[in-house]
Amino acid sequence: MHTGAQYHQFFLTSRRDLEVRDRFQRTAMAMLPHGADVLDFGAGTGIDAKAYAAHGHRTYVYEPSPAMREHLLAYCSEELDRRTVVSIDSASECKVSAVTANFAVLNHFADHAQLFEQLSTIVRKGGFVLASMLNPYYLGDARYGWWLANAFHLLRRGHYAIASESRIHRFAPRVVARSAAPHFHLERIEPGGLRMATQLYMFLLFRRR
């Protein structure tokens, strides 16, 4: 179990994660209209929120873990004072152009239907949800016994959970897309094609209908 400080230190020093984070932030900011507000859902220690705020996007942060939130409040204290970062106790407290959920936040959910229902009341029409999720097809995980044991569930049901990783679920994009479908359509999946087998994280972009 990470404390906020350990998590923060790890994610700011791991080269692979820094590269993925940079790509995620650039993807989000390239699509955000100038000066648009964003909700960082499951904001962790505030690494992305600080970056979005620095680029002129008021960033609402929702983070349920007290340890993560405590670190966020310290790391983003200046932005919180200026209200360029705004901490909220429920995601429904804001109305935004986009929601970001970086580094496996949505893998904490067993089902996404209710979540997308809630997000549909938060994201303006034409806005987006960008999520980075653990990629169930990543071949780097094939060395683990659980990967092969769950390949059947993945093919058949499109999702599985690993008993040793409490409350972490892995999903084929189509399963998340089905849950989102009443309100959002899956516009883009990255990486595409065979590169899917080589990346631990996949980015899913959902557009508000």
Ligand X SMILES: C[S@@+](CC[C@H](N)C(=O)[O-])C[C@H]1O[C@@H](n2cnc3c(N)ncnc32)[C@H](O)[C@@H]1O
User: Site residues (CB under 6 A) for ligand X?
Assistant: 11, 41-44, 47-48, 63-65, 68, 102-105, 108
Beta carbon nearer to ligand X, 47 or 85: 47
Closest contact distance (angstroms) between CB of 100 and ligand X is 8
Euclidean distance between CA atoms 144 and 161, whole angstroms: 14
Beta carbon nearer to ligand X, 10 or 152: 10
Provide the β-strand partners of residue 184: 208
Closest contact distance (angstroms) between CB of 103 and ligand X is 4
Closest contact distance (angstroms) between CB of 153 and ligand X is 22
C-beta neighbour count of 181 within 10 angstroms: 14
φ and ψ at 96, to 5 degrees?
Answer: -140, 170
Residues in Cβ contact with 114 at an 8 Å cutoff, skipping those fewer than 6 apart: none
**Which residue's C-beta sits nearest to ligand X?**
44
Distance between start and end Cα atoms, the chain? 38
Closest contact distance (angstroms) between CB of 128 and ligand X is 16
Beta carbon nearer to ligand X, 104 or 151: 104
Beta carbon nearer to ligand X, 104 or 181: 104
CB 128 within 8 A of CB 31: yes
